[in-house]
Amino acid sequence: MKFLEQPPRFFFFTGKGGVGKTSLSCATAMQLAGQGIRVLLVSTDPASNIGQVFGQAIGNTITHINGVPGLSALEIDPQQAAQQYRERIVGPVRGTLPDDIVNGIEEQLSGACTTEIAAFDEFTALLTDSALTADYDHIIFDTAPTGHTIRLLQLPGAWSDFLEADKGDASCLGPLAGLGKQRAQYKAAVEALADAQRTRLILVARAQPAALREVARTHEELAGIGLSQQYLVINGVLPPEEAAHDPLAAAICAHERTALDAIPEVLKTLPRDRVALKPFNLVGLDALRQLLVTTASQAPSTHAAPAVLVLDAPSLSALVDGIAEDGRGLVMLMGKGGVGKTTLAAAIAAELSHRGLPVHLTTSDPAAHLSETLSGALDNLTVSRIDPHIETERYRQHILATKGARLDAEGRALLDEDLRSPCTEEIAVFQAFSHIIREAGRKFVVMDTAPTGHTLLLLDATGAYHREIARQMAGTGLHYTTPMMQLQDPRQTKVLIVALAETTPVLEAANLQADLRRAGIEPWAWIINNSIAAAAPNSPLLRQRASHELREIDAVATRHARRYAVVPLLKEEPVGVDRLLELTARPSLITERA
């Protein structure tokens, strides 16, 4: 594997949920440790499952991995890190400052930005404090810091004085308030990430157009802030020999070849590796040892898949029946990138429109391509896109023209810099989002949301706006409705969580559901998309993969979802109105838990 040649001290594996970055980081750690090298594997993923992969508890302390001499692991808990970070800032002033001021500080530090920065706060020590990692030759991180976080840490040092002078507007700078004393450490951490001699970023993707577009954006974002030493790993490529006697396998192989032939230009110059799809779950030491082996091996497979797989699960059409009963409302599809939210949102909108109901289909995902997915028109259906760049520039110009008009040149320059922070985009998108969802009182609004992290930031902005309006309206006796109140009302909003029938996507979807419930939003249903088991494959490898899906589908059905549906993996991509309508044309009874 090219990405393992002349290994640097630090490895970062990054990619969206379900592409296999945890499996690859664990297998890499094992391979290096097998050479007699001392390795520390660190997960910064909120849905970390490296303990499950290795079959032992790990947690937030460095733990030796049983059966792998020289390998230790650590799972950084972002929520715990965020709580400790908040307390470090709020603790010294609690009881000293008035309660309303303390509450205001805590409110600033309650969002996803704080969690992201706190996690970065945790692992920067591993990048910069040699005493902490002196026992290890290599440090491998599962989930790299995002360009969003690093961009925040690159804001000018003058932001602290700017905040104290109360010249800013709503932005991500609040969560940065506790970083002043550690700016030198963060600067050193960013320098370490950008040093090709010390750090290698491995971009993990699947051989799918959407996944490759996503990783191309990640490449450009990280390269734009100096993290240029990147390698590309295409994971889970179906071996061509599986196509011989299975139309589904043949179609998958053809789609993967097409996707790789059309790989984005910015990725073509990166060193590239290809890892074959395995028939077994990547759990346990034997399975991990086989992942990076280039020759085919069935060794970790303990039993063959059944010759015939029977999956009795509700279909998407049953969910649409339940949605259509209300005649109007907001339908939001949420989940990690790459699970197929855009396709499913388009299918649901097309079916509702086909039934004669008025529908507005929109997206807040900068990567979405609704027009290509629909590839046609329907009566009663309008399509729009909340363009983050347009909305952000509109918001920036508004703030500069209002608050900026009262500032001197220095203050205006700092305000302009503040408004270039990543959270400005979230606020601007929130305003556009709020405008669109008002339509749900008279028609269906089907919304394809951005990947989970961006969606949670959007919900943070929604919640903060609600709390501010509630504070202002307290005691007035006036009636008011905020976007958050609409999201929390099941009569007005149905949230559909989209996942794949794989361990990590289901864990991440369960965590998203927990986040939503903490915000007072109860998801209405889950959709398991692109299920191999529901497609009844003939390929031996795909049948084994399908048999492993059954456990994850059962977990969704029995533990996570009140309602759910399973959508099969299709031979042809569902592009165009006719194929989208086929997704909702499979009658089935819906299963619902009390």
* 61-90 residue pLDDT tens: 899 999 999 999 998 877 777 788 778 778
Position 168 scores a pLDDT of 44
Question: Of all helices (H) and strands (E), which one includes residue 86?
Answer: helix 78-90
CA dist 192 and 74 (Å) reads: 20
Two structure tokens written together for 247: 């139309």
Whether 22 is catalytic is yes
Which residues, in sequence order, are CB contacts of 564 under 8 Å at separation 6+?
313, 314, 525, 526, 527, 528, 556, 557, 591
Position 384 scores a pLDDT of 86
Cβ-contact 352, 324 below 8 angstroms: yes
Which of 22, 28, 363, 503 is an active site residue? Answer: 22
Q: What is the pLDDT of residues 274-318, one digit of tens each?
A: 999 998 878 889 989 999 987 654 444 444 555 556 678 898 999
Exposed / middle / buried, residue 61 (Cβ in 10 Å: 0-12, 13-18, 19+):
exposed
Position 174 scores a pLDDT of 53
Quick one: what percent of the chain has pLDDT higher than 70?
A: 78
Mean pLDDT along residues 126-139:
86
Whether the per-residue pLDDT at 559 is higher than 50: the answer is: yes
Q: What is the pLDDT of residues 324-345, one digit of tens each?
A: 999 999 999 988 777 888 889 9
Position 305 scores a pLDDT of 54
Whether 21 is catalytic is yes
pLDDT band at 403 (very low <50, low <70, confident <90, very high): confident
Whether the per-residue pLDDT at 467 is higher than 70: the answer is: no
Higher pLDDT: 52 or 315? It is 315
Give the architecture (CATH level 2) of 2-291.
3-Layer(aba) Sandwich (3.40)
Position 432 scores a pLDDT of 81
Q: What is the pLDDT of residues 143-188, one digit of tens each?
A: 755 555 565 555 544 444 444 454 444 455 555 555 555 667 777 8
Mean per-residue pLDDT of the chain: 80
**226 φ, ψ to 5°?**
100, 0
Higher pLDDT: 217 or 358? It is 358
Give the DSSP per-residue string, 412-446.
HHHHHHHTTSHHHHHHHHHHHHHHHHGGGGTSEEE
Laid out side by side, the sheet with 230-237 consists of 63-64, 71-75, 39-43, 138-142, 10-14, 199-206, 230-237, 272-276
Whether the per-residue pLDDT at 320 is higher than 60: the answer is: yes
3.40.50.300, 3.40.50.620, 3.90.1150.10, 3.30.930.10: CATH of 316-388+440-583: 3.40.50.300
Cβ-contact 118, 153 below 8 angstroms: no
Which of 15, 17, 20, 338 is an active site residue? Answer: 20
Which of 301, 504, 531, 584 is an active site residue? Answer: 504
Kindly calculate the radius of gyration of the chain based on its CA atoms and give it in whole angstroms.
Answer: 24
Lowest mean pLDDT among 19-28, 59-68, 74-83, 490-499: 74-83
Whether 167 is catalytic is no
Highest mean pLDDT of the ranges 44-58, 271-285, 299-313, 361-375:
271-285
Which of 15, 16, 23, 167 is an active site residue? Answer: 23
Which of 44, 45, 147, 539 is an active site residue? Answer: 45
Q: What is the pLDDT of residues 225-245, one digit of tens each?
A: 778 889 999 999 999 999 987
Whether 504 is catalytic is yes
* Angle ∠(427,109,474) on CA atoms, nearest 5: 75
Whether 376 is catalytic is no
Laid out side by side, the sheet with 444-448 consists of 381-385, 359-363, 444-448, 329-334, 493-500, 525-531, 564-568
Q: What is the DSSP letter of 306?
A: P
Question: Of all helices (H) and strands (E), which one includes residue 169?
Answer: none
Mean pLDDT along residues 473-490:
69
* Angle ∠(163,168,169) on CA atoms, nearest 5: 135
Q: What is the DSSP letter of 560?
A: I
Position 444 scores a pLDDT of 95
Which residues, in sequence order, are CB contacts of 35 under 8 Å at separation 6+?
none
Lowest mean pLDDT among 179-183, 412-416, 534-538: 179-183
Q: Which residues partner with 256 through β-bridges?
A: none
Quick one: what percent of the chain has pLDDT higher than 90?
A: 34
Higher pLDDT: 591 or 388? It is 388
Exposed / middle / buried, residue 406 (Cβ in 10 Å: 0-12, 13-18, 19+):
exposed
Q: What is the DSSP letter of 176?
A: G
Query: Under the phi-then-psi rule, with left for phi > 0, alpha for psi from -120 to 50, and beta for the rest, what region is 427?
Result: alpha
Q: What is the pLDDT of residues 94-113, one digit of tens each?
A: 888 787 777 777 766 766 66
The reported pTM is 0.74
CATH 3.40.50.300 range(s) for the chain read 2-291, 316-388+440-583
Whether the per-residue pLDDT at 131 is higher than 70: the answer is: yes
**73 φ, ψ to 5°?**
-140, 160
CA dist 237 and 277 (Å) reads: 5
Which of 15, 17, 18, 168 is an active site residue? Answer: 18
Higher pLDDT: 589 or 450? It is 450
